[in-house]
Amino acid sequence: MARINHVAIVGGTHGDEYSGIHLVEKWQKTPALIARDSFTCEALLANPKAHQANQRYIDADLNRQFLRADLADIHLGNYEQSRAKALANYLGPKDAPRCDVIIDLHNTTSNMGPTLVLLKSSPFTTQLGAYVSQIMPSATILFQDGDPSVEHCFLCDLATHGVIIEVGPQPQSLLRHDILAQMEALTLHVLDFTHFYNKNALPALPKSYDAFRYTQTLTLPTADGKLLGTVHPHVQDNDFKELKTGDPLFSLFDGCTVFWEGQSTYPHFINEAAYYDKQLAMSLADKIRVEVLVD
């Protein structure tokens, strides 16, 4: 088993997602709160200029700028593309990173609760998912490892183990007490797990557990770029609840309903404000049983 030597906790990858920004500022002031004996840990604000502007980003979504080819392309030079290169140098580089783990903290306006997103399936991540499901049953575990040959464009993919924490619902540009507490608890659970993992001192974990695996993203109904309707009330706020074949999916402004014709699935990021300008309606996931991998 490969020991974890260094962890980075990143907030403010999107400048209007305040919970992670608040926690990073808190932990920069009081590093003892994130210190664990068996590894070093730092907290970092990823997109300070966007946060200052109180926007998700200045020129482009920072969390889509971390493909190897884009990081190597000096002609991609807007603010976030430049900041991505600086972050890759500081936290990475992608193929031999200084950070074994990056925990990237995000908020959603959709009703996702505390969600732990894991980019790859490995002994570390499958055991982490098992630990979190056990110690924080309100958390959802979401694997984004459907096609391991496809490279992730996310910031936390700089590290060997990419971890995203998404907590919502929270409107952009403010702090809710409940959401902040959930994000703090979930992040500290990841640190505790990492320490126990390093020390070979994990509590007994289940051999398998329920989780989700991202499959695809649905767009809102449009014609000539104009929106034709909204997410149906049957789906709105029901993140990670089952959507069955034939269930209502979209409610059109003309009064018609669009039904889901695919197989049973689990929507999340439902009617997410950050994705609305791209006319995205929701992401879909399969419910899966994760077998815990051992080193």
**Interface residue list for a copy of itself (CB under 8 A):** 22, 26, 54, 109, 169, 171-178, 180, 227, 230-233, 236, 251, 253, 271-273, 276-277
Query: What is the Cα–Cα distance from 279 to 288, expressed in whole angstroms?
Result: 28
CB of 163 to a copy of itself, least distance (A): 24
Tell me how far, at minimum, the Cβ of 59 lies from a copy of itself, in Å. 15
Closest separation between CB of residue 267 and a copy of itself, Å? 15
Closest separation between CB of residue 265 and a copy of itself, Å? 20
CB of 176 to a copy of itself, least distance (A): 6
DSSP character for 95?
A: T
- Nearer Cβ to a copy of itself (46/180): 180
Exposure string (b/e) for 140-179, b if CB count within 10 Å is 16 or more?
bbbbbbeeeeeebbbbbbbbbbbbbbbbbbbebeeebeeb
The Cα–Cα gap between 271 and 76 comes to 30
Cβ-contact 100, 116 below 8 angstroms: no
Least separation in angstroms between CB 276 and a copy of itself: 4
- Let me know: does 245 contact 257? Beta carbons within 8 Å: no
From 133, 86, 85, 60, select the one nearest 289 (Cα to Cα). 133
User: Whats the size of the chain, residue-wise?
Assistant: 295
Nearer to a copy of itself, 56 or 161 (CB): 56
- Judge contact between 123 and 1, C-beta under 8 A: yes
- Complex with a copy of itself: residue 146 or 233, whichever CB lies closer: 233
**Distance, C-alpha 58 to centroid of its chain:** 20
- In the three-class reduction of DSSP (H, G, I as helix; E, B as strand; rest coil), residue 162 is classed as strand
CB of 181 to a copy of itself, least distance (A): 9
Nearer of residues 100 and 166 to a copy of itself, judged by Cβ? 166
Phi then psi for residue 99, to 5 deg, are -90, 125
Shorter beta-carbon distance to a copy of itself: residue 256 or 293: 256
Beta carbon nearer to a copy of itself, 206 or 233: 233
Measured from the CB atom, is 77 or 233 closer to a copy of itself? 233
